[in-house]
A and B are shown apart, each in its own frame.
Chain A
Amino acid sequence: MERYRKYFPWAAGAALLLLVWLTFFSVRETEFVLITQLGKPLYSVSDAGLHVKWPYQTATYFDRRLRVYNPRPSEFLTRDKKNVVVESYVAWRIQDPKRFVETVGDPVGAEMRLHDIVWSGLAAALGTHDLESIVSTNLQTVQADQMMDRLSSLTDRAALEQYGIAVMDVRIKRLNLPEQNKQSVYARMRAERERIARQYRAEGEEQALSIRADADRQKEEILSAAYKEAEKVKGEGDAEATRVYSQAYSRNPAFYKLLRTLESYKKIFDDKTTAILSSDSELLKVLMHGGGAK
């Protein structure tokens, strides 16, 4: 016994360390600590830092961070009897560790429970909404936000009451149609595209025709206006020429008459003409009667 005495301080030190170890416990920011005594939950500590408990009590650590749980996609029926596949997520964390440990125990169990709550909640919510009010380009009729907000708060209330779980959010990650409905959707999409394609082509045709018609009309307008203008100009020329002639000729009408008559003779008589001339004519008087005749 004596020879072990020198180890006593060592044993005392070890015992002291053990006591310190059992009395003090630190709580991290990410955790809750549940203090249990002989398996019976007493109270939980959520303030991070160093804390004290009785050495015979045990501390159980729970992650209190927000978790995102993705339930498996499920098919639901909307009020207007359309099938939709909804993929959702649940943002949750442990709120009441005591309740949590009493009812579900671990995150896997929690997610199973959440799945059930959310599934029935979604089924009920979608069953009272038309697909149009969840998926629509008409923003006035879309009620997806309100629907999910209500579902979130319902889920939160149920989960907190039953399992000590706080649900921050239940949101739809993705909406899709079931596989067996997709073929008809694709067919509809194709038909819609064909209609749009036809419309584009027809509209192009329409525009092209109107451009061509417009061009033809402009061409006609330009040419007829030009004709009008040209004839007017020509008429002005004719009028001016007539005026110039008449002005000149009217100053000496007798001479004009003579000149013009003689001019006409040149044109009237040709080699087929036979003229019977009187010997007494002005031209032939000299011929018949000699130069003296006057």
Chain B
Amino acid sequence: MSASAQPKVQTGIVERPFEPAQRPNRARQVAAGVALLWMLTSVFIVRTDQQAVVTRFGAVVDPRVMPGIHVVLPWPVDRVTKLKVQQLQRLVVGGELPDTVTGRAQPLQSEFLTGDQNIINMRVVVQYSVGVPVDYLFRTANVARSVGAVVETALAERIAERNVDAVLTTEKQNIQEEVRAEAQRILNDYHAGVLLSTVNMESAVPPPEAADAFRDVASARADSSRIVSEAQGYANDVIPKARGEARQMQEQALAYKESLINQAQGDAARFTEVAAEYAKASEVNGQRLYLETMEQILPKIKKLIVDKNGNLDLTIIRKGEPAK
């Protein structure tokens, strides 16, 4: 920088008042020391997490000075403002003063009106950092207040177009993202130089006056799914059992069929064998079979033997044994 030329002229002006002092040597040393200190005001260090803005008589000459050692014109010409650009700042939105009766037990939260005209209590936490250092420093009187107001308005708008169930359950993520985008857009309009990193709905709950009814809905949902899963359990029990039973019936039928056929085939084979032998001497075999059968039958039954002439011949009975 061309900083070296001008300060020397300036130092002359400042040094002069000290010259007429009683001890010139001493005065010169003091003057030199003061001059050196003054020169030092033109050197500054920007740390790694910082950025700086340089103004000359109030006007911005370097809007973004990156980390490192830098030289500017000494005070009061140039001024350096350093900012921790990456540091996240936290802001609670929609907070109301805690209730004096219940004390600090309840977290800060405030009421919003949903699209279906339900009231819900919400607390939103915003995190932001410096986006454009110049804007951040010079465009807005109270950055935190602006961020709070803008996020709250974006939030109210998003809540007002959704129904209460969406806000409390499914749409939470979308709302956060939409609020962040919308608030960022408005802040950019204001040239606030702020970068919103997160908008987080820390709590979104129904008002205590209706909380039990909301809880009942949750338990109704649980009840409903319990009943359904019980029914599914029933179905899972009944159907496999029926399938097992069906299988059993089929197997029994197959067993019946197989055994009947086998039996028939056995019987038929036996008959065929016997019939073949029978055919070889049908007279004798017929006689034999007849007699064998009679042997089996007659012992069991009462018998009366009559003569072919029709007279009842009781002699056999009386004699008890066959005649010769």
Contact = CB atoms under 8 A, between A and B. Distances in A.
Given A135-B115, A244-B268, A252-B278, A204 B110 contact: no
A49 B110 CA distance: 45
A177 B119 contact: yes
Contacts of A70: 149
Interface stretch (B36-44, B82-90, B213-221): B213-221
A265 B113 contact: no
A244 B265 contact: yes
B232 A211 contact: yes
A255 interface: yes
A277 B308 contact: no
B161 A137 contact: yes
A262 interface: yes
A136 B219 CA distance: 28
B272 interface: yes
A219 B252 contact: no
Interface in A1-50: 6, 10, 13, 26-31, 47-50
A65 B140 contact: yes
A290 B263 CA distance: 44
Interface in B106-142: 110-119, 134, 137-142
Q: Which of B59, B267, B324 has the most CB of A within 10 A?
A: B59
B289 interface: yes
Contact of B221 (A28, A49, A142, A200): A200
Contact of B297 (A209, A219, A266): A266
A168 B228 contact: no
A30 B116 contact: no
Given A135-B115, A276-B305, A197 B220 contact: yes
B291 interface: yes
B264 interface: yes
A264 B246 CA distance: 39
Nearest to A242: B264
Interface string A249-292: 10110111011001001100111111111111011100110100
Given A175-B156, A211-B235, A219 B242 contact: yes
Nearest to A89: B149
A165 B20 CA distance: 54
Contact of B113 (A177, A214, A219, A242): A177
Q: Choose among B116, B190, B259, B305 the residue with the greatest number of A CB atoms under 10 Å from its CB.
A: B305
Interface of B: 16-17, 20, 55-60, 94, 110-119, 134, 137-142, 145-146, 149-150, 152-153, 156-157, 160-164, 186, 189-192, 206-207, 209-210, 213-214, 216-217, 219-221, 223-228, 230-232, 234-235, 238-239, 241-243, 245-247, 249-250, 252-254, 256-261, 263-265, 267-269, 271-272, 274-275, 278-279, 282, 286, 289-291, 293-294, 296-298, 300-308, 313, 316, 322-324
